[in-house]
C-alpha cells in the first residue's frame, strides 16, 4: 500500500495536474478521454483544429506526465509485409492522479477496512480485531530499524509531526473525514498503525497513545520514561 516514496509520488502528481493548466493540452486530454478507443495524432489534430506537430508535442507531454498511455496499433487491420508501421496512439492512463492538501490517505483506510471485513467474514474473527492487527502489520512494514526516525517517517507520510513538550504531536490526520464520522473505528485503526510504525523502526523511545484534540490527529507519540 505504501510502496513508493510518498513525497516523490506527490511531486509527480502535482506536476501532472500542473501540466493540464495549459489550455491546448487540457483540450487534447479531454478529447482523448472522451473517445471509446485510442486516438492518433492526426485524428486529435483534426478534431481540435491544431497543427499535427502541436498536437504531437502536447500528447507526448501528457504521456510523459503519465496522464495518457501510449499504444501502437495498425489502423488498417493488415499484418505482415506491406502492412505499414503501427501508429502511435494515446488513451487515458490507468494511473490514478490525486493531489490533496492537506495530505489524505482514504484509499489506504478503505483497503484496510475492506480486507478486514473480508477476513472477518471468512474466519469469523471480530472485524475490529482483524482491523487492528492488519493496521499494525502495515505500520511495521513502513520502516526498517535504523531506516528513519519516527519524526521523519511520519513527516514523509503526511502526518505533519511536531515536537511538543517532549512528545511528538501530529498536526494532520490522513483519515480526517472518516475519523470525524467514524471516530472509534478509524482512530483505533490509526493508533495501531502508528504502534506498528514504532515497532517496525525498533523505536523504544516513544509510545503511541490516543490523545484527541481539536485541529490535529487523535494519536500522540509520548516519550517513554
Q: What is the CATH number of the domain that holds 88?
A: 1.10.10.10
pTM to 2 decimal places:
0.74
**Each residue's pLDDT tens digit, 11-70:** 888 888 888 999 999 999 999 999 999 999 999 999 999 999 999 999 999 999 999 999
Answer for the pair 21, 70: CB distance below 8 angstroms, yes or no: no
206 and 132 within one domain: yes
63 and 112 within one domain: no
What is the Cα 148 distance to its own chain's centre? 21
**Each residue's pLDDT tens digit, 60-77:** 999 999 999 999 987 665
Whether the predicted pLDDT of 1 surpasses 50: no
140 and 65 within one domain: no
Side-chain half-sphere CA neighbours of 129 within 13 A: 7
Is there a domain that residue 100 lies in? no
Is there a domain that residue 191 lies in? yes
Q: How many residues does the chain have?
A: 225
Answer for the pair 7, 155: CB distance below 8 angstroms, yes or no: no
**How far is it, in rounded angstroms, from Cα 51 to Cα 44?**
10
Helix (H) or strand (E) holding 156: helix 150-156
**How far is it, in rounded angstroms, from Cα 42 to Cα 90?**
11
171 and 206 within one domain: yes
**Each residue's pLDDT tens digit, 78-103:** 555 555 678 899 999 988 887 777 88
Q: How many domains does the chain have?
A: 2
Domain that holds residue 87: 6-92
Helix (H) or strand (E) holding 222: strand 219-223
For residue 192, name the pLDDT band (cuts at 50, 70, 90): very high
10 and 41 within one domain: yes
Residue 102: is the preceding peptide bond cis (ω within 30°)?
yes
Average pLDDT over residues 142-167: 86
Q: What is the CATH number of the domain that holds 182?
A: 3.30.1380
Whether the predicted pLDDT of 3 surpasses 50: no
CA-nearest of 59, 66, 58 to 88 is: 59
86 and 113 within one domain: no
Whether the predicted pLDDT of 150 surpasses 70: yes
**Each residue's pLDDT tens digit, 201-220:** 999 999 999 998 888 899 99
Amino acid at each position: 500500500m505504501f510502496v513508493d516514496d510518498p513525497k516523490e509520488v506527490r511531486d509527480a502528481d502535482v506536476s501532472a495536474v500542473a501540466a493540464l493548466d495549459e489550455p491546448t493540452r487540457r483540450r487534447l486530454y479531454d478529447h482523448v478521454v472522451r473517445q471509446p478507443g485510442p486516438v492518433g495524432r492526426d485524428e486529435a489534430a483534426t478534431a481540435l483544429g491544431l497543427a499535427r506537430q502541436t498536437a504531437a508535442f502536447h500528447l507526448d507531454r501528457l504521456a510523459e506526465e503519465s496522464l495518457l498511455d501510449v499504444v501502437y496499433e495498425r489502423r488498417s487491420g493488415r499484418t505482415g509485409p506491406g502492412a505499414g508501421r503501427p501508429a502511435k496512439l494515446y488513451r487515458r492512463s490507468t494511473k490514478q492522479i490525486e493531489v490533496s492538501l492537506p495530505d489524505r490517505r482514504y484509499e489506504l483506510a478503505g483497503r484496510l477496512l475492506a480486507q478486514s471485513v473480508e477476513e472477518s467474514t471468512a474466519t469469523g474473527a471480530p472485524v475490529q480485531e482483524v482491523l487492528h492487527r492488519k493496521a499494525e502489520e502495515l505500520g511495521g512494514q513502513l520502516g526498517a530499524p535504523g531506516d528513519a526516525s519516527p519524526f521523519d517517517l511520519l513527516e514523509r507520510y503526511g502526518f505533519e509531526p511536531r515536537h511538543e513538550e517532549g512528545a511528538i504531536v501530529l498536526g494532520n490526520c490522513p483519515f480526517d473525514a472518516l475519523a470525524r464520522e467514524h471516530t472509534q473505528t478509524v482512530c483505533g485503526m490509526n493508533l495501531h498503525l502508528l504502534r506498528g510504525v514504532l515497532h517496525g523502526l525498533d523505536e523504544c523511545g516513544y509510545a503511541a497513545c490516543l490523545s484527541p484534540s481539536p485541529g490535529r490527529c487523535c494519536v500522540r507519540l509520548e516519550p517513554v520514561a
